[in-house]
Amino acid sequence: MAEEANLHSLQELEREEILQVLYRDQTVRNIEEERIRKLKIHLQHLRWKGAKRVSQEYKEKSCARCQRILGLLLNRGAVCQGCSHRVCSECRVFLRRTQAWKCTVCFEDRNVKIKTGEWFFEERAKKFPTEGKRETAGAKLLQSYQKLSKISVVPPTPPPLSESQCSGSPGRLQELGQFKGFNKSMENLFLSVATHMKKLSKSQNDMTSDKQLLATGPRQCTGQSERRSQSDTAINVTTRKVRAPDILKPLNQESPKCPTNPVLKQEDLSSSPPPNTLFSGGLRHGSLISINSTCTEMGNFDNANVTGEIEFAIRYCFKTHSLEICIKACKNLAYGEEKKKKCNPYVKIYLLPDKSSQGKRKTGVQRNTVDPTFQETLKYQVDPAQLVSRQLQVSVWHVGMLTRRVFLGEVIIPLATWDFEDSTMQSFCWYPLGAKAEKYEDGVPPNYGELAVRAKLVLPGGPRKLQEAQEGTGDQPSSNGQLCLVVLGAKNLRVRSDGTLNSFVKGCLTLPDQQKLRLKSPVLKKQACPQWKHSFVFKDVTPSQLRQASLELTVWDQAVFGVSDRLLGGARLSSKEDPAGGTDSCSQSKLQWQKVLSSPNLWTDMTLILH
């Protein structure tokens, strides 16, 4: 063999070896995830055991953990230092060699933090706040392979492939070969991935629609989302990261003699594919999360006649800021496939207005029943202040053959009026399922929050000069001014499931000659109601230009690794007639904008509705 070929095969071997390690690591990780899941369920059960029930008189003094009635003299109970709940003597755990104790839940909480390694992630978050909790380098590397090879739909459990699919891989490679920047060595990489996939166990039965997946077209993504939803491990979307692909680059691009810069190359990130088509690993417990609900959110689903009810409970823990929705059961559901009398229901929830994939929680799928029992708790981390602006949307879906989803009904509960302190509100309740609510009523555009801005048109000579300018023909050099805009803050934005955002504002002033002036604010991290107080100054603009111009302000949520920022909403200021506009809010902002233009050198405060 020629020397070059040898070198090449060596690199391939390297990839093989690393892949072997990554798969072994994946096995270890899966075990760990499973262990952690069990621990958390255990803690959950402990918590629920102590939750006050309706049947019980709240005023009666009882142990917060075991519900035992506490006496006035004997067994009076004592307040736990951790959670401030009164507990009986049985429900205390004494800490070793001390007189200090904690209630069973607080003790277990700490225990779980140790056992799950949560303490480490909390510590690490101090330095790397954007780092996904449990995502490991190995997971990321593996994902990068899977993403690139389009075997992205494979669930985190070792993904078995049938022979037919493996034999189909050359075709897959050919297709991939059309992607830009796809070089020879990458193909080798995929080949090696395919070989590895082949080696893995062969039990996955829901890979049958793989062929369909390879075909381009709208069904492709629905196929993916179904696959993901059915995997029994959830996918943590919030920790989506795309750094991994370039980590492996040195292996493909560089010869052993060429040293690699140890610094990770971030600038390569932009070349990554958009996140919606990516598989993101990292596991989350308690609920199923799929990357996107393309089929169910894009209206690509069937409707059944809605019947039946759903039973669930809503609780909120003010201490941990955790909103827990315990989905118990449904009864008398409509058949997802009426003719076949088939129904495989699952429940999906959102905290509206957040309909992003991060905000989605799902239960597992129950097979062949119209009276499913779920007994699953879906959780959100939400700030108490956030609750009032949210609506809990609980919908029931049938998983059909292949990609089809059938809508079985939904319930929407505005949390603004929900009294989370009232124990009667925490009990399980049956809610009748309703038909799908209209997206938004009667063409009124959705309100995605408000943006407060302050604007001023600065002209060199003050108001008098403006009048001259207005009286004149317009573009006189002397009338050149600047438009100052202070982006104060925004509220009621569509926050992430944890109630925060890493938000920033983009301003784009489009002048009559279609010239666009763009400015951007810094990113404010971890805030639901960001106060940027950032000023945009558009220089060298004339009032006459501005009268013909339009200013677009858009609010964005920065993606974890800057791959695809999420648009939270935008507002447009223009004195021209907006063909798409015409609603009240638009005309109001138009008036405000005109006020800015007509009163130079004076600040005008505006509140813009984001659409």
Partner 1 sequence: MASATDSRYGQKESSDQNFDYMFKILIIGNSSVGKTSFLFRYADDSFTPAFVSTVGIDFKVKTIYRNDKRIKLQIWDTAGQERYRTITTAYYRGAMGFILMYDITNEESFNAVQDWSTQIKTYSWDNAQVLLVGNKCDMEDERVVSSERGRQLADHLGFEFFEASAKDNINVKQTFERLVDVICEKMSESLDTADPAVTGTKQGPQLTDQQAPPHQDCAC
In the complex, the residues that contact partner 1 under the rule CB under 8 A are: 13-14, 16-18, 20-21, 24-25, 27-28, 31-32, 34-35, 81-82, 95-98, 100, 102, 106, 110-111, 113-117, 119-120, 122-124, 126-128, 131, 136-138, 140-141, 243-244, 246-251, 254, 256, 258-262, 264-265
Minimum Å gap between C-beta 13 and partner 1 is 8
The count of other CB atoms within 10 Å of the CB of residue 82 is 15
Cis peptide before 353 (omega within 30 of 0): yes
Minimum Å gap between C-beta 131 and partner 1 is 6
Nearest to 309 by CA among 400, 363, 350, 370: 370
Minimum Å gap between C-beta 498 and partner 1 is 18
Minimum Å gap between C-beta 135 and partner 1 is 9
Q: Report the relative pairing of strands 405-414 and 302-303 from DSSP bridges.
A: parallel
Minimum Å gap between C-beta 239 and partner 1 is 12
In a 3-state reduction of DSSP, which class is residue 87? strand
Residue 21 or residue 437: which is nearer to partner 1 going by CB? 21
Residue 23 or residue 428: which is nearer to partner 1 going by CB? 23
Secondary structure of 130-169 in HEC code, one letter for each residue: CCCCCCCHHHHHHHHHHHHCCCCCCCCCCCCCCHHHHHCH
* Angle between the N-to-C axes of helices 3-50 and 104-116, in degrees from 0 to 180, rounded to the nearest 10: 180
The count of other CB atoms within 10 Å of the CB of residue 265 is 13
The DSSP line for 384-413 is HHHHTT-EEEEEEEEE-STT-EEEEEEEEE
Minimum Å gap between C-beta 28 and partner 1 is 6
Minimum Å gap between C-beta 8 and partner 1 is 15
| H helix runs in 447-542, sequence order | 462-471
**Position 11: which residue type?**
Q
Residue that the structure tokens 């459990």 belong to: 157
- How many angstroms separate the first and last alpha carbons of the chain? 64
**Position 534: which residue type?**
H
Secondary structure of 282-343 in HEC code, one letter for each residue: CCCCCCECCCCCHHHHCCCCEECCCCCEEEEEEEEECCCCEEEEEEEEEECCCCCECCCCEC
In a 3-state reduction of DSSP, which class is residue 434? strand
What single DSSP character describes residue 313? E
Minimum Å gap between C-beta 339 and partner 1 is 44
Residue 198 or residue 547: which is nearer to partner 1 going by CB? 198
Rounded distance between C-alpha atoms, residue 611 and residue 608, angstroms: 9
**Position 347: which residue type?**
V
Minimum Å gap between C-beta 82 and partner 1 is 5
Rounded distance between C-alpha atoms, residue 114 and residue 133, angstroms: 15
Rounded distance between C-alpha atoms, residue 138 and residue 240, angstroms: 14
Query: Tokens at residue 517, please?
Result: 């002036």
Residue 58 or residue 119: which is nearer to partner 1 going by CB? 119
Residue that the structure tokens 């059909």 belong to: 400
Minimum Å gap between C-beta 198 and partner 1 is 15
Minimum Å gap between C-beta 570 and partner 1 is 35
Nearest to 67 by CA among 31, 121, 103: 103
Minimum Å gap between C-beta 234 and partner 1 is 19
* Angle between the N-to-C axes of helices 184-199 and 169-176, in degrees from 0 to 180, rounded to the nearest 10: 150
Query: Tokens at residue 157, please?
Result: 């459990």
Q: Do residues 538 and 549 touch, judged by C-beta distance below 8 A?
A: no
Residue 124 or residue 211: which is nearer to partner 1 going by CB? 124
Residue 245 or residue 359: which is nearer to partner 1 going by CB? 245
Q: Do residues 266 and 563 touch, judged by C-beta distance below 8 A?
A: no
Residue 201 or residue 476: which is nearer to partner 1 going by CB? 201
Minimum Å gap between C-beta 560 and partner 1 is 14
Minimum Å gap between C-beta 35 and partner 1 is 5
Residue 111 or residue 391: which is nearer to partner 1 going by CB? 111
Residue 123 or residue 163: which is nearer to partner 1 going by CB? 123
Sequence-separated (6 or more) residues with CB below 8 Å from residue 141: 18, 22, 244, 247, 248
Residue 258 or residue 580: which is nearer to partner 1 going by CB? 258
Residue 129 or residue 171: which is nearer to partner 1 going by CB? 129
Q: Do residues 428 and 330 touch, judged by C-beta distance below 8 A?
A: no
Rounded distance between C-alpha atoms, residue 64 and residue 47, angstroms: 10
